[in-house]
Amino acid sequence: MASVVSAPRDALNVAAIRQDFPILRQRVHGKPLVYLDNAATTQKPQAVIDALQRYYSEENANVHRGVHSLSGRATDAYDAAREDVRRFINAADAREIVFVRGTTEGINLVAQTWGRARVGAGDEIVLTEMEHHSNIVPWQILCEEKGARLRVAPITDAGELRLDELERLLNARTRLVAVAHVSNVLGTVNPVAEIVRLARARGIPVLVDGAQAVAHMPVDVQALGCDFYAFSGHKVLGPTGIGVLYGRRELLEAMPVYQGGGGQIGSVTFDRTTYAPLPYKYEAGTPNIAGVIGLAAAIDYVTGVGLDRIAAYERDLCAYATSALADVPGLRLTGTARDRASVLSFVLGDVHPHDIGTILDREGVAIRAGHHCCQPLMRRLGVPATARASLALYNTRQEIDTLVAALQRVGEVFE
Ligand SMILES: *Cc1c(COP(=O)(O)O)cnc(C)c1O
H/E element, 405: helix 397-413
Atom of ligand 1 lying closest to residue 106 CA: 9
Which residue type, as a one-letter code, is found at position 242?
A: I
Active-site residue (options: 143, 226, 318, 373): 373
Q: Give residue 8's pLDDT band: very low, low, confident or very high (50, 70, 90).
A: low
% of the chain exceeding 90 in pLDDT: 94
Distances (CA, A) of 196 to 137, 206, 244: 22, 6, 20
Query: In angstroms, what is the span from residue 8 Cα to ligand 1's centroid?
Result: 33
Question: What is the pLDDT at residue 11?
Answer: 84
Question: What is the pLDDT at residue 308?
Answer: 97
What contacts 140, CB < 8 A, 6 or more positions away? 150
User: Distance of alpha carbon 278 from its chain centroid, rounded?
Assistant: 24
CATH architecture of the domain 49-303 equals 3-Layer(aba) Sandwich (3.40)
More confident residue, 7 or 194: 194
Question: What is the pLDDT at residue 2?
Answer: 41
226 pocket-lining for ligand 1 (C-beta < 6 Å): no
Any catalytic annotation for residue 373? yes
Q: Whose CA is nearest to atom 2 of ligand 1?
A: 211
Question: What is the pLDDT at residue 9?
Answer: 58
Q: Residue 261 burial by CB count (10 A; 0-12/13-18/19+): exposed, middle or buried?
A: exposed
Backbone conformation region of residue 349, classed left if phi is above 0, alpha if psi is from -120 to 50, else beta: left
Distances (CA, A) of 24 to 41, 313, 358, 386: 14, 19, 19, 25
Q: Residue 71 burial by CB count (10 A; 0-12/13-18/19+): exposed, middle or buried?
A: middle
What contacts 321, CB < 8 A, 6 or more positions away? 344, 389, 391, 400, 403
What are the tens digits of pLDDT across the range 134-186? 999 999 999 999 999 999 999 999 999 999 999 999 999 999 999 999 999 99
More confident residue, 414 or 18: 18
Phi, psi angles (nearest 5°) of residue 135? -110, 20
20 pocket-lining for ligand 1 (C-beta < 6 Å): no
Report, as an integer, the average pLDDT of 91-111: 98
Which residue type, as a one-letter code, is found at position 371?
A: H
Q: Where are the domains of the chain?
A: 14-44+306-410, 49-303
Distance separating the N- and C-terminal Cα atoms of the chain: 32
Q: Give residue 39's pLDDT band: very low, low, confident or very high (50, 70, 90).
A: very high
What are the tens digits of pLDDT across the range 333-372? 999 999 999 999 999 999 999 999 999 999 999 999 999 9
Question: What is the pLDDT at residue 5?
Answer: 47
180 pocket-lining for ligand 1 (C-beta < 6 Å): yes
Q: Whose CA is nearest to atom 8 of ligand 1?
A: 104
Atom of ligand 1 lying closest to residue 40 CA: 1
Q: Beta partners for 244? A: 99, 231
- Has residue 7 got a pLDDT over 80? no
Atom of ligand 1 lying closest to residue 182 CA: 13
Instruction: Determine contact, residues 71/306, Cβ cutoff 8 Å.
Output: no
DSSP-H helix ranges across 112-209: 116-118, 137-146, 163-169, 192-200
H/E element, 402: helix 397-413
211 pocket-lining for ligand 1 (C-beta < 6 Å): yes
Q: Give residue 38's pLDDT band: very low, low, confident or very high (50, 70, 90).
A: very high
Q: Whose CA is nearest to atom 5 of ligand 1?
A: 103
- Has residue 3 got a pLDDT over 60? no
291 pocket-lining for ligand 1 (C-beta < 6 Å): no
Question: What is the pLDDT at residue 299?
Answer: 98
What contacts 196, CB < 8 A, 6 or more positions away? 206, 224, 225, 226
Query: In angstroms, what is the span from residue 371 Cα to ligand 1's centroid?
Result: 13
CATH architecture of the domain 14-44+306-410 equals Alpha-Beta Complex (3.90)
Distance of alpha carbon 63 from alpha carbon 290, whole angstroms = 11
Name the residue of 235, 240, 245, 371 to mutate for ligand 1: max ligand atoms within 8 A of Cβ.
235
Question: What is the pLDDT at residue 290?
Answer: 97
